[in-house]
Amino acid sequence: MLSEYQLTLAPKTLDNADPEARAVLEKAQAQVGFIPNMYARMVNSPGLLTAYLDSYALFRQQSGFTPVEQEVVFLTISRENGCEYCVGAHSVLADNLSKVPTAVTDAIRAGALIPDDQLAALSQFTQVMVAKRGLPSRAEVDDFLSAGYSETQILEIVLAIAVKTLSNYANHLFHTPLDEVFAARAWKD
């Protein structure tokens, strides 16, 4: 899903960024080993990219979700928001870093049933939180808690939604091209 209006701000590099943006790009490069197309565009607002990087790292480090569960949350949010860039990128991360079973990743990408009950409950609740803008029913919360998750993890899903909203919306506005490293898992809404 892409915005009707496309931002015309040029991507930034370490060579052409002002000192504040350059510092954020250096931090990003240190975290992931390269500067993804998404970061090169988001850094037009250094605060936007800084908020994304810091919140993303906190979710990864402190959410209480396993790496597999983290990818399920990020993929579900990105799919619900129709972010072609993030679904493609997180599919590669799911496959190669987090070791999410391909059947799970493919099900999320397709909006199909996930072949794992606990991950299905996590994805379903995450989808509810996005679609209902943080207003789940008591029954939806009970289902999530019954799957073995905690109330604290509900708040961590709120954090993940905030993180992915920053990147998903920026990618919609920039029409961010998928990096070659993620091309094998390109996705269209």
What is the CATH classification number for the domain harbouring 96?
A: 1.20.1290.10
Residue range 77-88: mean pLDDT, rounded: 98
Confirm whether 150 is domain-assigned: yes
Counting the structural domains of the chain, the total is: 1
pLDDT over 90 (residue 81): yes
- Summarised one tens digit per residue, pLDDT across range 64-78 is 999 999 999 999 999
Confirm whether 20 is domain-assigned: no
Residue range 160-184: mean pLDDT, rounded: 98
DSSP state of 176: P
Confirm whether 54 is domain-assigned: no
Local structure of 17: helix, strand or coil:
coil
Confirm whether 60 is domain-assigned: no
- Summarised one tens digit per residue, pLDDT across range 1-50 is 799 999 999 999 999 999 999 999 999 999 899 999 999 999 999 999 99
108 touches 72 (CB < 8 A): yes
Around Cβ 135, how many Cβ atoms within 10 Å? 9
* Rounded CA separation 36/179 (Å): 7
Local structure of 177: helix, strand or coil:
coil
What integer pLDDT is reported at residue 1 of this predicted model? 76
Q: What percent of the chain shows pLDDT beyond 90? A: 97
Confirm whether 12 is domain-assigned: no
Q: Write the single-letter amino acid at 3.
A: S
State the DSSP H helix or E strand holding residue 173, giving kind and residue range, or none if neither.
helix 151-174
Is the Cα torsion angle 10, 15, 20, 23 positive or negative in sign?
positive
Give the domain extent around 119: 65-185
Residue range 53-58: mean pLDDT, rounded: 97
What integer pLDDT is reported at residue 75 of this predicted model? 98
What integer pLDDT is reported at residue 127 of this predicted model? 98
Q: Which of 115, 117, 97, 87 is nearest to 183 (CA)?
A: 87
Name the band, by pLDDT with cuts 50, 70 and 90, for residue 189: confident
Residues written for the chain: 189
Residue range 133-145: mean pLDDT, rounded: 98
Confirm whether 178 is domain-assigned: yes
State the residue for tokens 């970061």.
39
pLDDT over 90 (residue 104): yes
- Summarised one tens digit per residue, pLDDT across range 119-131 is 999 999 999 999 9
Distance of CA 86 to the CA centre of its chain: 6
Give Dmax (Cα) for the chain.
53
Confirm whether 46 is domain-assigned: no
Q: Which of 73, 62, 51, 58 is nearest to 152 (CA)?
A: 62
Confirm whether 107 is domain-assigned: yes
What integer pLDDT is reported at residue 111 of this predicted model? 96
